[in-house]
């Protein structure tokens, strides 16, 4: 059942949380219109610039200066020699391009990343073909042809945060990007948010209906903090490897040259081998 239709869920949209108070018996949230909401517990899932995190942790996000452009290209516009039924990546100094089929090959997702020359602020807006092209003048012709295909682009200036050892206190915790915003290099932000949600459910279940949210939240954090911190740090490192230049580029190439797909898969087992059955182990 969706949240909208659940009888015991009250949804408030167009609401911007401004202030959070947590005490022994409950939590209170105040929005920018001055409305107050009281409850037994608080799960802050308010994204990269989380207001709840400001209260619970008090750190700031770290703008990476890396910009992502994304577009969808219809199959007929995709160069025939690149209509691969696979995720493909082209890497270069300070940049990379990814493409893969969507909807059974009717469309292709095109995602490109570069290190911006500008001072960036975290956020998303419409992109411009001129800007994206200006960062790829020196790459080889085959992937560069792709850049002329989209009719519109979306542009994200990305950010993450340094991992922390604790996300919450008392009857409050964080989930998803609020807890562990990460760069997109491992494509794991939403995946980790889903793992969080499942683990949180299991941690609450483990309290056998006692209503001890503080205990459930500490158990949830204990099981999630290290794993998600590993993903945050690995995503940064993956960006560095993709965008390597000079001697780092040569080291990357020598590390990966001749490596079998099986060895690549084995190296990712820690990431993709997660199951709910072991989430509280
Ligand atoms: C370019 C790019 C590519 C990505 N690719 C992938 C991928 O391939 N795979 C993957 O798994 N992940 C990917 N991600 C990451 C993924 O999008 C995020 O990790 C995911 O959306 C996080 O979900 P969330 O619910 O925690 O936060 P969000 O999706 O950011 O949702 C937070 C919500 O909180 C609301 N909110 C914010 N502040 C307040 C406030 N003060 N009061 C009330 N509401 C508030 C926002 O409006 C929003 O609705 C990508 C991200 C980017 C930028």
**Closest residue (by CA) to atom 37 of ligand 1?**
46
Ligand 1 centroid to 267 CA: how many Å?
A: 27
Residue whose tokens read 């696979």: 86
pLDDT digits (tens, 9 = 90+) for 30-44: 999 999 999 999 999
In the chain, the N- to C-terminal Cα span, in Å, equals 28
- Which among 238, 75, 20, 57 is positioned nearest to 161, based on CA atoms? 57
Is the Cβ atom of 176 under 6 angstroms away from ligand 1?
A: yes
Ligand 1 centroid to 74 CA: how many Å?
A: 26
The pair of three-digit structure tokens given for residue 57, joined into one six-digit string: 């942790």
**Closest residue (by CA) to atom 31 of ligand 1?**
47
pLDDT of residue 253: 96
Query: Please, what are the domains in the chain?
Result: 23-60+163-278 (3.50.50.60), 62-160 (3.30.9.30)
Q: Tell me the C-alpha to C-alpha distance, in Å, between residue 75 and each of 29, 132, 149.
A: 48, 21, 11
Q: Tell me the C-alpha to C-alpha distance, in Å, between residue 147 and each of 49, 130, 152, 165.
A: 31, 10, 11, 41
pLDDT of residue 124: 98
E-assigned strands of 5-53? 17-22, 27-31, 36-39, 42-44
| Residues marked as catalytic | 100
pLDDT digits (tens, 9 = 90+) for 173-194: 999 999 999 999 999 999 999 9
**Closest residue (by CA) to atom 28 of ligand 1?**
47
């Amino acid at each position: 059942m969706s949240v909208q239709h659940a009888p015991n869920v009250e949804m408030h949209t167009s609401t911007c949380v401004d202030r959070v108070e947590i005490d022994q018996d409950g939590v209170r949230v105040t929005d920018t219109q001055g409305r107050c909401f009281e409850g037994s517990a608080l799960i802050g899932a308010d994204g990269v610039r989380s207001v709840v995190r400001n209260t619970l942790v008090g750190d700031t996000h770290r703008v990476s200066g890396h910009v992502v452009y994304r577009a969808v290209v219809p199959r007929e516009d995709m160069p025939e020699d690149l209509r691969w039924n696979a995720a493909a990546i082209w890497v270069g100094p300070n940049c990379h391009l990814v493409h893969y089929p969507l909807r059974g090959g009717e469309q292709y997702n095109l995602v490109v990343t570069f290190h911006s020359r500008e001072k960036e602020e975290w956020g998303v807006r419409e992109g411009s073909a001129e800007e994206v092209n200006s960062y790829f003048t020196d790459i080889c012709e085959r992937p560069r042809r792709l850049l002329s295909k989209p009719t519109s682009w979306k542009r994200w200036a990305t950010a993450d945060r340094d991992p922390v050892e604790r996300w919450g206190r008392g009857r409050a915790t964080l989930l998803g990007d609020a807890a562990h915003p990460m760069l997109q290099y491992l494509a794991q932000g939403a995946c980790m948010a889903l793992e969080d949600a499942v683990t949180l459910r299991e941690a609450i279940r483990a309290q056998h209906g006692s209503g001890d949210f503080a205990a459930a939240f500490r158990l949830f954090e204990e099981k999630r903090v290290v794993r998600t911190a590993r993903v945050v740090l690995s995503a940064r490192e993956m960006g560095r490897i993709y965008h390597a230049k000079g001697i780092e580029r040569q080291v990357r190439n020598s590390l990966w040259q001749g490596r079998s797909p099986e060895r690549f898969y084995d190296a990712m087992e820690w990431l993709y081998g997660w199951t709910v059955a072991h989430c509280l182990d």
